[in-house]
């Protein structure tokens, strides 16, 4: 690798990259390679509001650089890209990112309460969901007066859409004899964004829960500490005890959302990886951890003790790689 660093010296033998041009060199150096790409990325359509998700007030929202997960134009351009990536020689498979709806940390507050555009309304009808009820569910949460039944309908709809998309993705990748994988929200928070491990496992060869327990950057979409802190803040009408029961993570040890942001325990990280594996009986669980986590070595060793054979790291950086030593 560049900078005189050889990843194999750190026990790393597989590389996940979005850059197809580096594949030949990685193969020459003996690495296994997976390609990664985004699901609903807006790309050059970012300025065109017709691609954006719509919140409960009908306003356009961009989340994680992405648009409406039911926009047929975004879906087909994404699947065409996947199809093209599959033609890259010598790769093991494709791992998709962002196959979900917005989370609390993926954009402005209102971006979580999406998508209620015409595409989503038509998809709800096609899948026999009650769109008005779905909207009512999101609005009730937004207004901090939760209608539990309607919220569940909303989250089930999110999940049905994501599962439908990943089914298409998987069909394309597997038809080329490659492995289909996905970076998923950690199990405690996955239901919020429409990722249902049990439904997705039969579609995926590799399930990769993103278990970033103490992500230090200011923005942390998908990171456990950021998303759970945001949930404690946004859903402040329920107690931390109730939120702990909802997410299956003990938040009562924290005093405030800011306290949660400082990081979850290493035990919580390991338990999230085990939950992901338990829920994904048809797939290999390959947790992805934060390379810049000061406890990365101890988490890896706890996972190895629990027989996790594949562990992925986000993100290669010459300053962080020494955390593995
Ligand atoms: Zn939509």
Q: If you measure from the C-alpha of residue 51 to the centroid of ligand 1, how many angstroms do you get, rounded to a whole number?
A: 8
Query: How confident is the model at residue 1, as a pLDDT?
Result: 54
Q: If you measure from the C-alpha of residue 52 to the centroid of ligand 1, how many angstroms do you get, rounded to a whole number?
A: 8
Q: If you measure from the C-alpha of residue 313 to the centroid of ligand 1, how many angstroms do you get, rounded to a whole number?
A: 32
- Taken in order 112, 272, 260, 312, is the CA torsion positive or negative? negative
Closest CA to 195 of 184, 206, 205: 184
- Cβ burial of 176 (10 Å; 0-12, 13-18, 19+) is middle
Q: What is the pLDDT of residues 118-160, one digit of tens each?
A: 999 999 999 999 999 999 999 999 999 999 999 999 999 999 9
Q: What is the mean pLDDT of the chain?
A: 96
Q: What is the pLDDT of residues 267-298, one digit of tens each?
A: 999 999 999 999 999 999 999 999 999 999 99
Query: How confident is the model at residue 319, as a pLDDT?
Result: 86
Is residue 213 within 8 A of residue 269, CB to CB? The reply is: yes
Question: Model-level pTM?
Answer: 0.97
Positions of E strands within 25-144: 32-38, 53-54, 60-61, 93-97
Residue 3: pLDDT band (50, 70, 90) is low
Q: Taking the CB of residue 133, how many other CB atoms lie within 10 A of it?
A: 17
| CATH superfamily assigned to domain 2-324 | Glycosidases (3.20.20.80)
pLDDT of 196 higher than 90: yes
Total count of residues recorded for the chain:
325
Q: If you measure from the C-alpha of residue 71 to the centroid of ligand 1, how many angstroms do you get, rounded to a whole number?
A: 6
Q: If you measure from the C-alpha of residue 115 to the centroid of ligand 1, how many angstroms do you get, rounded to a whole number?
A: 4
């Amino acid at each position: 690798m560049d900078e005189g660093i050889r990843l194999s010296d750190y026990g790393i033998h597989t590389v996940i990259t979005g850059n197809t041009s580096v594949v030949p060199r990685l193969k020459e150096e003996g690495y296994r390679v997976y390609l990664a790409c985004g699901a609903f990325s807006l790309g050059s359509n970012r300025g065109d509001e017709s691609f954006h998700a719509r919140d409960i007030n009908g306003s356009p929202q961009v989340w994680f650089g992405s648009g409406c997960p039911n926009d047929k134009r975004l879906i087909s351009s994404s699947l065409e890209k996947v199809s093209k990536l599959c033609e890259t020689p010598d790769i093991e498979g494709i791992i998709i990112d962002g196959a979900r709806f917005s989370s609390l940390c993926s954009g402005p507050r209102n971006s979580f309460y999406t998508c209620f555009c015409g595409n989503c309304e038509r998809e709800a009808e096609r899948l026999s969901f009650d769109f008005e009820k779905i909207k009512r569910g999101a609005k009730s949460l937004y207004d901090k007066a939760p209608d539990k039944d309607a919220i569940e309908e909303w989250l089930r709809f999110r999940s049905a859409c994501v599962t439908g998309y990943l089914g298409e993705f998987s069909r394309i990748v597997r038809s080329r004899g490659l492995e289909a994988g996905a970076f998923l929200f950690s199990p405690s928070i996955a239901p919020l964004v429409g990722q249902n491990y049990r439904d997705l496992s039969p579609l995926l060869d590799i399930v990769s829960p993103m278990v970033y327990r103490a992500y230090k950057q200011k923005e942390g979409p998908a990171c456990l500490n950021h998303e759970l802190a945001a949930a404690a803040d946004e859903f402040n009408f329920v107690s931390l005890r109730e939120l702990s029961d909802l997410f299956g993570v003990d938040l009562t040890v924290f005093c405030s959302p800011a306290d949660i942001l400082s990081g979850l325990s290493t035990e919580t990280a390991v338990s999230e990886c085990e939950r992901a594996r338990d829920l994904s009986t048809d797939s290999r669980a390959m947790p992805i951890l934060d390379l810049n986590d000061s406890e990365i070595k101890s988490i890896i060793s706890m996972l190895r003790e629990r027989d996790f054979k594949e562990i992925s790291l986000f993100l290669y950086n010459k300053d962080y790689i020494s955390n593995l030593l």
